[in-house]
Amino acid sequence: MLDIQSIRKDFPILQRTIYDHPLIYFDNSATTQKPRCVVEKIEEEYYNVNANIHRGVHFLSQQATEAHEEARKTVQRFLNARSPSEIIFTRGTTEAINLVASSFTDACMSVGDEVIVSVMEHHSNIVPWQIQAAKKGISLKVVPINERGELIVEEYEKLFSEKTRLVSLTHVSNVLGTVNPIRQLIDIAHNHGVPILIDGAQAVPHIPVDVQALDAEFYAFSGHKIYGPTGIGILYGKEEWLDRLPPYQGGGEMIASVSFEKTTFNELPFKFEAGTPDYIGSTALAEALRYVSRLGINEIAAYEHSLLQYATEQLKQIEGTRIFGEAAEKSSVISFLIGSIHHYDMGMLLDRLGIAVRTGHHCAEPLMHAMGIEGTVRASFAFYNTIEEIDSFIAAVERVRKMFLNK
């Protein structure tokens, strides 16, 4: 059992008031708040260890390098990757997907080849492929969803052809909360001899992820969504695949030697890390992963599930509620609309009551089109949220409903 009141003390921002109301932060799918230990790690490293890494002979540079490489090992252990060489530091999920889209398309795809994505993808797992489609003449095949917001596995199977080169799917939907049957989807791709990239941005903070057990070729996530700093994320890739792919960007660090006649590239993982990496961010991310591991990802999942269930039951009591995404397997995200109330109006009025939710298309416009709506209100929970906060949120939604619908 998690001691939520003591956990909340680790997150100073949760003590804030907004318009004289205690902050209720339900925008955790967009980004999570940071525990004191993560922020202190950043301060400690800047004040005591800061020096550019990998190249220096001096003490500080070596210490900073060790911290950065130790952070890589922490991520490796967190994901249960085989080797630290399989962990590439990126700016986030978006950059990780762009890296694969660019390098994989260059190395493995030609005109007429196909990538399978799904209708529930975040724009960051659609647009990079569209950019490659425009450059290289590849095309996207799209897995549809059913009325509960689950991928239709039989339709997914039908999309494979002899032209399919890669599958790129989200593990958990940031709008619907659907936890996709990712092991099954990976097995299906492999049965067709096709590698697969998983967007784990909304999965890693909420459910245990073991990349060896999953067996996907690539897996991406963002530090800021798992209580770590902004500007750092991870691309996991199987070594044999990362070896096959060309570098994404050129610059310092990623080379073995450079001359105007011939440049050779560094070994993994450095081949994909051009320029000075965010070595402060990497150590702070490692601190966040240690924090999450101390609480226990299974305990987090169980507690967040109880918040989801409670909030769903309560929200359904409100007249005119429509919930988008009622998958059997769901993470702690609720997208909803109340009667004809516009999502922005609901979001703005909740904000006036100190409640932070997200409104709009949530960077998933194709999903909104598929559901025939413009946007939703989205409440997304983390382990520091409480049942009392959900009660206040439900009372606030009901208040807004009465205001607009006058009954």
Residues in contact with ligand PMP by CB under 6 A are 29, 92-94, 122, 124, 170, 174, 199, 201-202, 222, 363
SS percent in the chain: helix, strand, coil, step 5:
45, 20, 40
Contact 91, 233 (CB under 8 A): yes
Give the active site residue among 39, 363, 370, 373: 363
CB of 34 to ligand PMP, least distance (A): 15
CB of 51 to ligand PMP, least distance (A): 27
Contact 177, 153 (CB under 8 A): no
Neighbours of 24 (CB within 10 A): 23
CB of 339 to ligand PMP, least distance (A): 27
Residue with smaller CB distance to ligand PMP, 102 or 174: 174
User: Which residue, among 79, 336, 369, 63, has the nearest Cα to 213 in the 3D structure?
Assistant: 79
Residue with smaller CB distance to ligand PMP, 54 or 358: 358
Residue with smaller CB distance to ligand PMP, 41 or 224: 224
Residue with smaller CB distance to ligand PMP, 92 or 229: 92
Residue with smaller CB distance to ligand PMP, 49 or 377: 377
Neighbours of 344 (CB within 10 A): 13
The verdict on whether omega for the bond into residue 269 sits within 30 degrees of 0, i.e. cis, is yes
Contact 332, 306 (CB under 8 A): no
Residue with smaller CB distance to ligand PMP, 202 or 283: 202
b/e 187-221 (16+ beta carbons within 10 angstroms → b): ebbeeeebbbbbbbbbbbbbbebebeebebbbbbb
Q: Pairing between strand 21-22 and 17-18?
A: antiparallel
Residue with smaller CB distance to ligand PMP, 63 or 130: 130
The CA-CA-CA angle for residues 136, 96, 182, to 5°, reads: 95
CB of 231 to ligand PMP, least distance (A): 9
CB of 383 to ligand PMP, least distance (A): 18
CB of 367 to ligand PMP, least distance (A): 11
Pairwise CA distance, residues 170 & 202, whole Å? 8
b/e 25-62 (16+ beta carbons within 10 angstroms → b): bbbbbbebbbbebbeebbeebeeebeeebbeeeeeebe
CB of 401 to ligand PMP, least distance (A): 27
Pairwise CA distance, residues 156 & 296, whole Å? 33
Pairwise CA distance, residues 51 & 60, whole Å? 6
- The H-assigned helical ranges of 109-224 are 127-136, 153-158, 182-191, 211-214
Pairwise CA distance, residues 122 & 30, whole Å? 12
Active site residue 363: yes
The CA-CA-CA angle for residues 250, 251, 255, to 5°, reads: 85
Contact 232, 285 (CB under 8 A): yes
CB of 158 to ligand PMP, least distance (A): 24
Residue with smaller CB distance to ligand PMP, 205 or 247: 205
Active site residues: 363
